[in-house]
Structure 1
């Protein structure tokens, strides 16, 4: 795939200029921040998709496999996966259906709740997620395109934003500061 053509002007900076010109000065900085974050997400997802494509994984499928891979026994209740991934239950169900179809996870009855299901990482799923993680680490996470200092500051700012928005509370005990 050819590299995208670089634009001669930053469209977000131009949008900010237009916001100000149209009398929306009070919203211009916020619009710029929001659209900048969305564009950065698009750029990062493109890199992630490129890294995961050889493994036949979307980021959602990778996240589910990685989540299960982090557990002691490669299993967790479906409800716990939904809560940790912070996505709609239907999205998790669809992701699990595809992973099960491909033999990467299986569903088992919950040992204590007959209405619930346990998600179980298969040996094939474990091997695939380890290889995919190596690729993501090498191709995306080790060099996200920011300096170490900028990465640390960005994570701090976004964590504060997420916390203030009610995304999480301070865990006890607290992890080492970022």
Structure 2
């Protein structure tokens, strides 16, 4: 059951308090961080409730979906860690649970004896397809913003991520001869 709306915006009240305490220089950053944190909570709640019946966390779903997107359902663990942009320990812990549940296998890397390859199992592939259908219908199809606002927000966040070093623009291709 949803709780009733608050009579005031708590972030606006926090802004007022920051100003009253003489922290005006930090107000824009505090408001941004607090707003994004609350938005993240609002966006993640339907994802978590949708994945709960599948016994998946979003991290476990992401690993399965990443593997299912590959041509043969396999990827070196290091590549998965880089693409998921999380600490290797987190990926290892997530993969441990997926292996325990029979959704992923660890395999020897064919050319690098130090590396491990992750492989999605048939059960993992079937589960991630069902979970993806549910997420698309119950969490991703309506995030509470119209398409234009969602696209604007994604562009702004992409600029923040790029400045933080998450990615680089692809190099320009030379003109054909």
Q: Please indicate the TM-score interval, normalised by the length of the shorter structure.
A: over 0.9
Q: Which residue of 1 is the match for residue 163 of structure 2? A: 164
When residues 15 and 142 of structure 1 are mapped into structure 2, their CA distance, relative to the original with a 3 A threshold, is same
TM-score computed with the length of structure 1 as normaliser: 0.94
Offset of residue 8 of structure 1: 1.6
Root-mean-square deviation over aligned CA pairs: 1.2
Offset of residue 27 of structure 1: 1.1
When residues 104 and 88 of structure 1 are mapped into structure 2, their CA distance, relative to the original with a 3 A threshold, is same
SS at match of 1:167: coil
Offset of residue 166 of structure 1: 1.4
Q: Which residue of 1 is the match for residue 60 of structure 2? A: 61
SS at match of 1:66: helix
Q: Which residue of 2 is the match for residue 139 of structure 1? A: 138
SS at match of 2:75: strand
1:39 correspondence with 2:38: yes
TM-score computed with the length of structure 2 as normaliser: 0.94
When residues 173 and 103 of structure 1 are mapped into structure 2, their CA distance, relative to the original with a 3 A threshold, is farther
1:48 correspondence with 2:47: yes
Partners in 2 of 1:5 and 1:131 — Cα distance?
Answer: 33
Q: Give the length in aligned residue pairs.
A: 173
Offset of residue 25 of structure 1: 1.1
SS at match of 2:150: helix
Question: Tell me, which stretches of 5 or more residues in structure 2 are unaligned?
Answer: none
Question: Tell me, which stretches of 5 or more residues in structure 1 are unaligned?
Answer: none
Partners in 2 of 1:57 and 1:160 — Cα distance?
Answer: 30
Q: Which residue of 1 is the match for residue 24 of structure 2? A: 25
Partners in 2 of 1:59 and 1:110 — Cα distance?
Answer: 26
When residues 134 and 173 of structure 1 are mapped into structure 2, their CA distance, relative to the original with a 3 A threshold, is farther
Give per-residue Cα distances to partners, 1:11-30, cap 9 Å, x unaligned.
11100010111111111111
Offset of residue 172 of structure 1: 4.0
